Amino acid sequence: MTNVLNAQEAFTALQKGKTVLCRYAGDGTLHADKDFSTLDQMPATVFALPNYEFCIQVETIELAGIQFTKPLSIDEVEQEQDVFLIQPHAVILQYKYSENIDELVTGIRSGFAQRDFDNAKLQYEALCSVVGGSIFEASLEIAEQPKKRRTSKKQNDVIEVKQQSNIAANDDNSLDDIIGPVSAQSPASNDVEKKTSLELSPEICDGSQPLISFDAVAAAAVSRAQKIDNETSQKNSDRKLVEEDEEKYQEKLATLKKRVDESLTPTEVNAVVKYTNSWSAEQRQPLLKYMHKRLEVLQQNKTAEQPSLMVRIQNAPDLTTLDALEIDISSLDPIIQPEMMRYVKTRRLELEKSATVAAISDEDLP
């Protein structure tokens, strides 16, 4: 069941904390929208524009796989509102709400009352399903209302004057009994509604001030909605700039990583850092880790290309070189030092023998 509101009724409902939905109603040239949308999907000036319709969204719940509107609460029901009370014998009783009907008040407080017949049927079927009972076709019956006490014509006139006075003072069209379509409401829309109702001029809700015209209320709503639109646009713009900056950063990072891969010496690897002067420490961290890995690879390659200490000892060209290598042995693990010293001793004997042979040869020359 969908009851359509005009802009003034919708704005009043918004002030009362209701969740308001909106759709374009068409203007004869453009077709009307079929579905209602949240307020954040609509123009900021929607309350002041023609050809728009509003409704109130009612929260839904699901039980035993059946979805229906949340049962009517005693806080939101109003006098003479249609109330559909669920009976266990597959009968839905339709009342005009009155606080003097005890069984109706009890049923509402117990959560067995709905705003319309269709959702009352769905709730009845869900209750039967959850306890494993049989589901029968629910029927609608008009409940017998308690007879009203007769009043004199003079009393009726006084009551009518009071009612008209209350309507003029509050400008409240009993919007609590207006039911919107069953659909989800986004948190962003709720924020818009709450801010709009809370941040309007306090004179609107101050009972000591004269009632402000709807045009003034609509203008305030439009102003606030435009401000929210501007803030949203600014956030979207900032987000777009951040995304563009991130894209440029990733492109440059990929380029520098490629240059690191192509570097053949530690000096070339370290030179890449100069291209990151404008980066933050957080942005530079991935590149530094990548450079560190490349330096480890280069060090391993250098170690693999360099002959082992044993080979250098065996190939030492002279005693001076051998003495220098003997010093290097002292930095090795103590377990391997004796073996390396054995190679040093062998090579020293070879070099000394070679030097002796050379000296003898020099003496034999004429």
For the cut 80, the answer to whether the pLDDT of residue 150 exceeds it is: no
41 in the same domain as 117? no
Residue 108 lies in a domain: yes
Residues 237 and 251 in one domain: no
What pLDDT was estimated at residue 354? 85
In a domain, 25, yes or no: yes
| Residue 303 confidence (pLDDT) | 66
Q: Is 80 exceeded by the pLDDT of residue 139?
A: yes
**Picking from 16-20, 164-168, 190-194, 358-362, which range would have the lowest pLDDT averaged per residue?**
190-194
Name the domain boundary from 263, 286, 305: 305
Within a domain: residue 170? no
Q: What is the pLDDT of residue 183?
A: 45
Q: How many domains would you assign to the chain? A: 4
Least confident of 27-36, 312-321, 336-345, 354-363: 354-363
> Would residue 258 count as lying in a domain?
yes
- Are residue 98 and residue 30 in the same domain, yes or no? no
Asked if residue 91 and residue 48 are part of one domain, the reply reads no
239 and 270 housed in the same domain: no
Same domain? 226 vs 249: no
169 domain residue, yes or no = no
Q: Does the residue 140 lie in any domain?
A: yes
Residue 165 lies in a domain: no
Residue 81: which domain range? 62-147
Residue 217, pLDDT score: 66
Quick check: 158 pLDDT over 60? Answer: no
Co-location of 184 and 258 in the same domain: no
pLDDT of res. 366: 54
Give yes or no: residues 39 and 112 share one domain.
no
Same-domain pairing of 339 and 273: no
- 139 and 116 together in one domain: yes
* Pair 20, 195: CB distance under 8 Å: no
Per-residue pLDDT reduced to its tens digit, 229-249? 777 777 776 676 677 788 888
Mean pLDDT of the chain: 77
Residue 1, pLDDT > 90, answer no
Mean pLDDT (whole number) for 28-51: 81
pLDDT band at residue 47 using 50, 70 and 90 as cut-offs: confident
User: How many CB atoms within 10 Å of residue 3?
Assistant: 16
Q: Tens of pLDDT along 293-310?
A: 888 888 777 666 667 788
Q: Kindly state the average pLDDT of the residues 346-356.
A: 88
